[in-house]
């Protein structure tokens, strides 16, 4: 078994030990969720929570793409340096933007004017439950790190691993909270021939 795996298992075991101690002090049983699987979960935050997907049939692909860009510049765009659309194809054009959820809904309606809307879908991620789970872990770790501060001074590896886990959870929480303020619009422009084949 690799050295870093042993260290992590030790840290997880120590977390369970601290949880049991804290629960015993309160006259309760240790929480059953203290397992390797539960604490090894990672929470990669999505770019946004709201998604608008449009497929619009147009007569001139490049002209329509330029019109779409002009429409979107009227809104406050967010983090678009990170928005990488798929490579353009002869029969299609792609574009994607990040906005606030309120602006995204308005912008999507404006994009309808580009041509014939062949497909439109608005969806939303269910993030609050994940935020609650992350927040619960943060509270547990913060409490146990405080209660066992003196003991951890004699266990620098465990202190480091637990501190790193706490920092990772705090970063994930911030990512999820930021994602709630963003919406993504994904636009696909197609010509008449492509529309005939697909729709």
CA angle 69, 74, 76 (to 5 degrees): 100
The parts of the chain modelled with pLDDT lower than 50 are 1-7, 26-32, 81-82
The pLDDT assigned to 7 comes to: 47
pLDDT for res 48: 92
**How far is residue 85's CA from residue 118's CA, in Å, rounded to a whole number?**
19
**What's the pLDDT score for residue 45?**
83
pLDDT at 172: 94
pLDDT score for 13: 59
What is the pTM (predicted TM-score) of this model?
Answer: 0.69
> Hey, which residues does 186 pair with through a beta bridge?
53, 96
pLDDT of residue 96: 93
- Per DSSP, what are the bridge partners of residue 96? 186
């Amino acid at each position: 078994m690799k050295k870093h795996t042993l260290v992590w298992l030790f840290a997880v075991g120590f977390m369970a030990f601290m949880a049991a101690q804290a629960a015993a002090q309160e006259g309760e049983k240790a929480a059953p969720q203290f397992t390797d699987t539960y604490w090894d979960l990672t929470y990669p935050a999505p770019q946004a929570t709201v998604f608008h997907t449009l497929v619009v049939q147009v007569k001139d692909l490049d002209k329509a793409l330029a019109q779409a860009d002009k429409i979107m510049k009227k809104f406050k765009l967010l983090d678009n340096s990170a928005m990488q659309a798929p490579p353009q194809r002869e029969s299609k054009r792609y574009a994607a933007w990040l906005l606030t959820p309120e602006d995204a809904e308005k912008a999507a309606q404006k994009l309808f004017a580009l041509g014939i809307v062949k497909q439109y879908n608005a969806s939303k991620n269910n993030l609050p439950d994940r935020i609650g789970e992350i927040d619960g872990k943060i509270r547990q770790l913060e409490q146990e790190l405080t209660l066992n501060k003196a003991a951890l001074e004699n266990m620098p590896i465990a202190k480091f691993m637990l501190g790193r886990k706490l920092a990772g959870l705090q970063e994930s929480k911030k990512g999820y909270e930021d994602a709630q303020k963003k919406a993504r619009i994904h636009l696909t422009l197609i010509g008449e021939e492509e529309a005939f084949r697909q729709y």
